Amino acid sequence: MSPTIEELELVCLDMAGTTVADEGLVLRAFEAALDALEVAPADRLAMVEVVVATMGTSKIEVFRQLFGDEGRAQRANAAFERAYHALVDEGGVHPIPGADAAMDALGFWGVKVALTTGFSAATRDALLAALGWERRADLCLSPDDAGRGRPYPDMILTAVLRLAVTDVAHVVVVGDTASDMLSGRRSGARWVVGVLSGADDRERLVGAGATHVLDSVADLPELLGAR
């Protein structure tokens, strides 16, 4: 059964791939991080495959998986953050068409909005500044703010606590990756909505627990009856 706007208190929206189009900047920044750590060409293909398969996961967790060494993971993550900042500054990001209108509709209906991301707080803030979204949502969260990133439920539960939501059954989680879907299911959110504007396809989103799949976040108001 589809959610209705009268039942909702909070919508947690992922950023890159869900509300923000970054034209492949994540992969370009990962490549820059591999350059910084002088990863051999022969090892790169397997690493990039891991990166693609884990889109949406906290970036430091991905580097820990890739390198198995905390020092190297931290260096890679720092290099990734620097590269992504630089690419954002070049103007390579913009809102997914319809994202602003969807958030406006939610606000009109009195539903709170939390933006969540696997980026660090510094990178998140640079991204928000580039978009002019500093005041776009009621709350913006990174793994740094919550304890752990996706696929853990910490960011969603932190949003529930900080925004004084009465029941996780009144929460919708929206994202473009299997990791987003897993974090939503683990949080207890009643509705977990996948979108096809980013990394993963319908089969993967449903397999990870999506209760609904939309072409884009632009379709969210119609799903919720907030037209």
CATH number at residue 172: 3.40.50.1000
Same-domain pairing of 107 and 120: yes
Same-domain pairing of 16 and 34: no
Q: What is the mean pLDDT of residues 202-224?
A: 93
Output the pLDDT for position 1.
57
Q: What is the mean pLDDT of residues 190-207?
A: 91
Instruction: Quote the number of domains for the chain.
Output: 2
Domain stops at, among 52, 71, 89: 89
Same-domain pairing of 32 and 103: no
Highest mean pLDDT among 3-7, 39-43, 68-72, 160-164: 160-164
- Give the pairing type, strands 10-14 and 191-195: unpaired
Calculate the alpha carbon distances from 176 to 14, 37, 133 in Å.
8, 29, 20
- Parent domain of 40: 25-89
Q: Tokens standing for 54?
A: 């884990």
- Residue that wins the pLDDT comparison between 203 and 92: 203
Comparing C-alpha atoms, which of 186, 208, 94 is closest to residue 195?
Answer: 208
Same-domain pairing of 131 and 63: no
For residue range 30-66, list pLDDT tens digits in order. 888 888 888 888 888 888 888 777 776 777 888 888 8
In terms of Cβ atoms closer than 10 Å to its own Cβ (0-12, 13-18, 19+), residue 220 is buried
Output the pLDDT for position 116.
94
Same-domain pairing of 64 and 119: no
Q: What is the mean pLDDT of residues 131-148?
A: 91
Q: In percent, how much of the chain has pLDDT > 90?
A: 44
Same-domain pairing of 126 and 105: yes
Domain stops at, among 89, 119, 137: 89
Same-domain pairing of 207 and 159: yes
- Residue that wins the pLDDT comparison between 52 and 21: 21
